[in-house]
Amino acid sequence: MKSPIEIAGEKTGTIHLSPALRTMYGPQHIPGLRCLEARGAFGHLLFQEIQGDDFSVWHCSFYLNHDDKLTLTWSLPVLRLWMALKCSFYFTSDNTGENVLHERGFRFDYFLTPCQTIRLRGKQSYSCVAVHFSHDFAREMAQCIPGGELFLQNVEKGEQTSPFPYVAGMDMLGAVEDILYCTYTSEFRRQYLSTKTLELLFLALERSTRARLSDSGRLPELVVRRIYEAAQLITRHLARDYSLRDLGVLVGLSDYQLKRGFKTIYNLTAADYRHEIRMKKARLLLEETDRPIAGIASEVGYDHPFAFSSAFRKFFGCPPSIVRKGKRIRTN
Amino acid sequence: MLRQPIMKSGPDSVAVQQKPEPLLQLNLSNGEYNLIYSPGFLSSPWLTFMGKNGIVISLGVRIDHLLHLGHTIQSLPSFLAKVQKGMACKLTNKPAMADLKMIRAARDMMDCHFTGTVKAVYCELKLSNLLVMALAGISGQANADKMVLKPLDVEKIEATRRYLFDNMDHPPTLIRLARKMGINDYKLKKAYKQLYGTTLFEDFLHARMDKAKTLLQDTSQSIVGIAETVGYKNVSSFALAFKKYFGCPPGEYRIKPYI
């Protein structure tokens, strides 16, 4: 079988991908997907694919031991929706200058010979998702959105309407997660994946055609890294209510830089980001464990289960007790 | 012909009846849904919802959409048989419970900030997605045999996996392994499958073959030695397993490893 991607590193040389033996259940591994892998002294690359009728979704993760530039060449001319899930990708494609795609940023690309160079730091794990569409599939969807067709035409000409990537909201992130971690099987899986991918494409196109927020200046790389550190601190210590100033002191940024950084990367304030992570964690705990709701509430930083319950209801549209009840019914 | 799965997300319970005689009664409480059929459903003026502040979402499904789902839902054939006869009926006696994904999809539709045709497209996408989830949910709940795993169980299973992989050169049997790790062997088998989607020993085979492959490529260790390292007492059974796995015997693999 020929690999659909060719990879060459500036220092490492050509990297061969081979069908992966699923012996490693690392955090990047998604059960039940076709995977291609390369492992060696340079680090570890893992490409996982979900194939649909008119699209294919790739989850790509990179971990290099040393800084390097990788050139990826895909064998298909494609229209592609590309979203960074972990860390920032600094990349150049075709003849444009270096661009950046931050966590949760996404962009559409169209390549006749899809070739792209990404600059990666060593000892840092990266992951992104790339959805490849057939041309007609995307155009059909674009026709439903005002300005969608024009946008796609521009993409195909290689002209992006905005030099900055767009930032995905909760809805798009949720759709990506649902696609990657779809647990349905057989016929349901096929149908579910195709409806979800359509939804993702719809949301992405819709968002791209709307005006971009003004605050999208380029952040220095050091600041970006520190923002991620701050985000990680928030995620690790969910129960703690860090103020902007506390966070700033811990990662070495002023509170203004933090505020602006969070806004630029996530299009959220730090507090909203924390709230989102809290809610997601709570959902995970509700669905995956049998811990009492009050315990979950305090674990994600709510002193009172009541406050937690109403926040959860506001965020997801249904109270935590219903989620728990559903789980109990399904598992018994 | 239209059939309706009904899903509700609201505080009260709801009954659907047809007058003059109630053909079908359906009680749904918060988050529950079911697939029902009643002759002349949509045109019927006698469809009543009883309840105070409930929100009911009803979704029409064409019958041909259900036909090719075939055996994936246990009670579907008998449901369809009744539908053919024109009898009012419901798919399952006990309603299914919506999960958070479904409730979110319903919410997204109701709270959507789009307008005009964009909204119509969005809702259509959401509806088809909701339908898939609803049917998959019913099928999953009808055929569910998942076990509840406590964090301690998961820990034990992970430890078992590690232990087996670390002791690749003399692999114990499943029963000995389970006893050593203090877990029931039935539970180990079943929970492992649930957690990792494959069986423990299939996984172990992958690991062994992977290791054998690396040893063949990167070292000049003899094939007998490699067979021992990955836990085969007998070289020929190793060679056989290797050939079955990679399609060529280990000796040949060493010469042209790119196959």
Between the alpha carbon of residue B235 and those of residues A134, B216, B224, B250, the distances in Å are 50, 14, 6, 10
Nearest to A118 by CA among A133, A128, A131, A105: A128
Instruction: Measure A318 CA to nearest chain B CA, in Å.
Output: 7
With cut-offs at 50, 70 and 90, classify the pLDDT of residue A42: confident
Nearest to B144 by CA among B100, B183, B94, B101: B94
With cut-offs at 50, 70 and 90, classify the pLDDT of residue A272: very high
Task: Report the pLDDT averaged over residues B115-131.
Answer: 86
Q: Is the pLDDT of residue B21 over 80?
A: no
pLDDT tens for A192-208 read 888 899 899 988 888 88
> What does the pLDDT read at residue A177?
87
> What does the pLDDT read at residue B19?
42
Task: Report the pLDDT averaged over residues A272-297.
Answer: 89
Q: Is the pLDDT of residue A278 over 50?
A: yes
A&B contacts, CB < 8 Å: 102
CA atoms within 13 A on the CB side of B135: 29
Q: Is the pLDDT of residue A131 over 80?
A: yes
Q: Which of A299-303, A318-322, B150-154 shows the lowest mean pLDDT across its residues?
A: B150-154
B20 prior amide bond cis, ω within 30: yes
> What does the pLDDT read at residue A297?
93
Tokens coding B65: 């959409």
* Chain B CB within 8 Å of residue A315 CB: no
Residues of B in contact with A289 (CB under 8 A): 151
Q: Give the start-end residues of each E strand in chain B.
A: 2-8, 14-17, 27-28, 32-37, 48-50, 56-58, 61-62, 89-90, 96-97
Q: Which of A75-84, A313-322, B139-148 shows the lowest mean pLDDT across its residues?
A: B139-148
Could you give the CA distance from residue A64 to residue B195 in angstroms, rounded to a whole number?
A: 29
Strand A89-93 to strand A78-86: parallel, antiparallel, or no bridges (unpaired)? unpaired
Nearest to A195 by CA among B67, B132, B137: B132
SS3 A228: helix
Could you give the CA distance from residue B205 to residue B201 in angstroms, rounded to a whole number?
A: 6
Residues of A in contact with B72 (CB under 8 A): 186-188
Count CB-CB contacts under 10 A for residue A113: 10
Q: Is the separation of the CB atoms in A200 and A175 below 8 Å?
A: yes
With cut-offs at 50, 70 and 90, classify the pLDDT of residue B5: very low
Inspect the interface and report whether the beta carbons of B146 and A331 lie closer than 8 Å.
yes
> What does the pLDDT read at residue B2?
33
pLDDT tens for B135-177 read 888 876 544 455 666 667 777 888 888 888 888 888 888 888 8
pLDDT tens for A213-238 read 545 567 888 999 999 999 999 998 88
**Which of B67 and B237 is assigned the larger pLDDT?**
B237
Concatenated DSSP letters of A40-103: ETTEEEEEEEEE-SSEEEEEEEEEESS-EEEEEEESS-EEEEEEEEESPEEEEETTS--EEE-T
Question: What average pLDDT is seen over chain A?
Answer: 82
* Chain B CB within 8 Å of residue A190 CB: no
**Range with top average pLDDT, A312-321, B78-87, B106-115:** A312-321
What's the pTM? Answer: 0.72
Inspect the interface and report whether the beta carbons of A326 and B207 lie closer than 8 Å.
no
Q: Which of A47-61, A75-89, B21-35 shows the lowest mean pLDDT across its residues?
A: B21-35
**Which of B141 and B72 is assigned the larger pLDDT?**
B72
> What does the pLDDT read at residue A253?
92
Tokens coding A307: 């406050």
Nearest to B204 by CA among B178, B228, B173: B173
**Which of A213 and A326 is assigned the larger pLDDT?**
A326
**Secondary structure tally for chain A: helices H, strands E:** 11, 14
Could you give the CA distance from residue B117 to residue B119 in angstroms, rounded to a whole number?
A: 5
Residue at token pair 């690309």: A109
Inspect the interface and report whether the beta carbons of B129 and A195 lie closer than 8 Å.
yes
**Widest distance between CA atoms in chain A:** 58
Q: Using CB atoms within 10 A of its CB, is residue A243 exposed (0-12), middle (13-18) or buried (19+)?
A: exposed
pLDDT tens for B77-91 read 888 888 888 777 888
With cut-offs at 50, 70 and 90, classify the pLDDT of residue B6: very low
* Chain B CB within 8 Å of residue A323 CB: yes
Could you give the CA distance from residue A91 to residue B166 in angstroms, rounded to a whole number?
A: 40
With cut-offs at 50, 70 and 90, classify the pLDDT of residue A274: very high
Inspect the interface and report whether the beta carbons of A318 and B31 lie closer than 8 Å.
yes
Its ipTM equals 0.79
Q: Which of A18-32, B6-20, B171-185 shows the lowest mean pLDDT across its residues?
A: B6-20
Could you give the CA distance from residue A120 to residue A60 in angstroms, rounded to a whole number?
A: 13
Residues 6 or more apart from A195 whose CB is under 8 A from it?
B125, B128, B129, B132
pLDDT tens for A81-121 read 889 998 888 888 766 677 888 888 888 887 766 678 888 88
SS3 A99: strand
Could you give the CA distance from residue A129 to residue A142 in angstroms, rounded to a whole number?
A: 21
Inspect the interface and report whether the beta carbons of B198 and A206 lie closer than 8 Å.
no
Sign of CA dihedral B115, B117, B122, B128: positive
Could you give the CA distance from residue B5 to residue B69 in angstroms, rounded to a whole number?
A: 15
Amino acid at B87: M
Amino acid at B62: R
Task: Report the pLDDT averaged over residues A167-177.
Answer: 88
CA atoms within 13 A on the CB side of B101: 25
**Range with top average pLDDT, A11-15, A83-87, B39-43:** A83-87
Mutate to test the interface with A, among B12, B119, B129 (most CBs of A within 10 A): B129
> What does the pLDDT read at residue A28?
58
> What does the pLDDT read at residue A15?
84
Q: Give the start-end residues of each E strand in B169-214.
A: none
Q: Is the pLDDT of residue B103 over 50?
A: yes
> What does the pLDDT read at residue A308?
93
DSSP state of A50: E
**Phi, psi for A106 (deg, rounded to 5):** -145, 160
> What does the pLDDT read at residue B75?
77
SS3 B138: helix
Nearest to A30 by CA among A134, A110, A147, A129: A129
Surface of A (24-83) touching B: CB under 8 A = 25, 31-32
**Phi, psi for A184 (deg, rounded to 5):** -70, 160
Q: Is the separation of the CB atoms in A125 and A28 below 8 Å?
A: yes
